[in-house]
Amino acid sequence: MNAKDTAARFSTELHRVIVGQEETIRLAFMALALGGHILIEGVPGTAKTLLARSVARLVGGSFKRIQFTPDLMPSDITGTEVIEENKSTGVRQLRFVPGPVFANVVLADEINRTPPKTQAALLQAMQERTVTIDGRTHPLGSSFLVIATQNPIEYEGTFALPEAQLDRFMLRLRLGYPQPIEEIVILDEQKRTHPLEDIEEVCSTEELRELQAAVREIYVDSTVSDYIVRLVNATRTHPDVYLGASPRGSLALYRAGQALAALLGRDYVIPDDVKMLAEPALAHRLIIKTSSSIHDVQPAAVVRELLDSVAIGAVHPTGQGGPRPLDSAAAVGRSSSSRTVVTDTTA
């Protein structure tokens, strides 16, 4: 399945509902192509839920929405076992009633409005794609995807997501206000009917699995892997950061680079792919020290600073001159038989 063509169809259909937001739509497709969970942030009324519902409709399979509220219980998400009596025999037995988490795409709307106890009900599902209830483990399927939304501005009546939960989201997408001309288009398009009803499915769940398998075959040079590791390690030693990105963050950035390369029609990853995706893949995983937060130091700003300070590795193509930065397609777009000597320019 061609990722570039699928991404084009995905973007076309999504633009029938979402006006503008090019970067957000591209990131949403990449997370989909990786089977990674998405956290969408934005102020009220900026189409967070609409984007999540639209993405779900573009992918074949089942869809469930969970409206997270302060009184929501873990069993309202995962399901529960009920006592059922056989009317003919009178024998009572337990029957498992699956919760809304048993779907291909689950929309966790306003996820930060429910207490941590209920938020934690998604931890096992998001990481292991299974749910354990009363000692029994129930699989969710390989195409399980969580799309969560939250309002980062309103704090009254909300509960901040714990680090373990944030770390399970592959990418964080931010939705802002549209441009004036885009807002006029929104008014015109929704004059009579809502365009969400007209979008068509882009791929089935089986085709999505094929796409995810193809993306994982994208070549990543060892120097690019080294750059990712050094960049993530730099978040752990930054003076303003209390908790840096985990190895799960390194893997998310690695996978996201593969997805972007596939989306652009390449079969290899370049460092520019990593730079482009570092902020949406890493910023939500960082915890800033309290002393730095007072001075309004933001995780995204720390990531951008590290992108400027962490050097990219270099390669010495055999038989050629001095080191050449690995920042172009030519540097890594070589055949697997080419021999290279990798050096570290930060030494």
Cα angle 230, 234, 239; round to 5? 170
Low-confidence ranges of the chain (pLDDT < 70): 1, 153-155, 192-193, 314-347
Assess contact for 266 and 328: CB atoms under 8 A.
Answer: no
Q: Tokens 């929309």 appear where? A: 107
Confidence at residue 155, expressed as pLDDT on a 0 to 100 scale: 67
For residues 134 and 75, give the distance between their C-alpha atoms in angstroms, rounded to a whole number. 11
pLDDT given at position 51:
79
The pLDDT, as a whole number, for residue 273 is 92
Residue 241 forms beta bridges with which residues?
288
d(CA 94, CA 82): 5
Q: Could you tell me which of 244, 241, 275, 239 has the C-alpha nearest to residue 257?
A: 275
pLDDT at 1: 61
Q: What is the 3-state secondary structure (H, E, C) of 275-334?
A: HHHHHHHHHHHCEECHHHHCCCCCHHHHHHHHHHHCCCCEEEECCCCCCEECCCHHHHCC
What confidence tens digit (pLDDT) does each residue in 1-13 have? 677 778 888 888 7
Report the candidate in 35, 29, 77, 304 with the shortest Cα–Cα distance to residue 169: 35
pTM of the model: 0.80
Q: What is the pLDDT of residues 252-270, one digit of tens each?
A: 999 999 999 988 888 899 9
pLDDT of 207? 81
Alpha helices, H only, the chain: 3-14, 22-34, 48-58, 75-78, 116-119, 123-128, 163-166, 180-189, 205-215, 222-237, 247-263, 271-282, 290-293, 299-309, 329-332
Q: What does the alpha-carbon distance between residue 301 and residue 176 come to, in Å, rounded to a whole number?
A: 18
Q: What is the pLDDT of residue 57?
A: 79
Query: In a 3-state reduction of DSSP, which class is residue 71?
Result: coil
Hey, what are 215's tokens? Answer: 């993306």
Is residue 256 a contact partner of residue 34, using CB atoms and an 8 Å limit? yes
Q: What is the spatial distance between Cα 177 and Cα 266, in angstroms, rounded to a whole number?
A: 32
